[in-house]
Amino acid sequence: MSAAFALPAATIEAWSIDSAELIADTPSSLVFRVRRLCSTNIVKSLKPAGLGELPGLDFLEWRQGLGAVRLIDRIGVSCLLEDGGTQTLRQHLDLRGDTEATDIALRVLNKLHAPSDRTAPAALVPLERHFSSLFCLAETARSSDLEGLPGWAADTARGLLSAQQDQRPLHGDFHHENIVQDASGEWRAIDPQGLYGDPVYDVANLFGNPLGYKTLILDPARIIRLAETFSSHFGCRPQKVLSYGAIHAMLSAAWMLEDGYALPGDTRLTERLAFARIAKSLLVEQFVD
CATH number of the CATH domain containing 77: 3.30.200.20
Q: What average pLDDT does this structure show over 100-105?
A: 98
Residues 127, 202 within the same domain: yes
Amino acid at 166: D
- Point out the domain boundary residue: 82, 108, 140: 82
> DSSP states of 131-200 as a string?
THHHHHHHHHS-TTGGGGHHHHHHHHHHHHHTT--S-EEE-S--SGGGEEE-TTS-EEE-----EEE-GG
Domain boundary among 82, 97, 129: 82
Same domain? 48 vs 140: no
Q: For residues 126 and 46, state if they share a domain.
A: no
State whether 67 and 94 are in the same domain: no
Q: Do 282 and 274 meet the contact criterion of CB atoms below 8 Å apart?
A: no
Residues 162 and 100 in one domain: yes
The pLDDT of residue 289 is 58
Q: Can you give the CATH number for the domain in which 178 is found?
A: 3.90.1200.10
Are 105 and 248 within one domain? yes
Give the containing element (helix H, strand E) for 17: strand 17-25
Q: Is the pLDDT of residue 255 over 70?
A: yes
pTM, full prediction: 0.94
- Residues in the chain, overall count: 289
Q: Which domain holds residue 149?
A: 87-285
Q: Give the model's pLDDT for residue 286.
A: 81
What single letter denotes the amino acid at residue 129?
R
Q: Are residues 125 and 77 in the same domain?
A: no
Together in a domain, 49 and 157: no
Q: Average of pLDDT values for 260-280?
A: 89
Predicted confidence (pLDDT) at residue 29 exceeds the cutoff of 80 = yes
Environment class of 286 (CB within 10 Å of its CB; exposed 0-12, middle 13-18, buried 19+): middle
> Quick one: 224 and 137 in the same domain?
yes
Q: What percent of the chain has pLDDT over 90?
A: 85
Exposure string of 134-156, with b = 16+ CB inside 10 Å and e = fewer, is bbebbeebeeeebeebbbbbbeb
- Kindly report, residue by residue over 110-149, the tens digit of the pLDDT: 999 999 999 999 999 999 999 999 999 999 987 677 889 9
State the average pLDDT over residues 156-180.
97
Q: How many domains does the chain have?
A: 2
Same domain, 231 and 93: yes
Q: Quickly state the pLDDT bin for 38 (edges 50, 70, 90).
A: confident
pLDDT digits (tens, 9 = 90+) for 201-237: 999 999 999 999 999 999 999 999 999 999 999 999 9
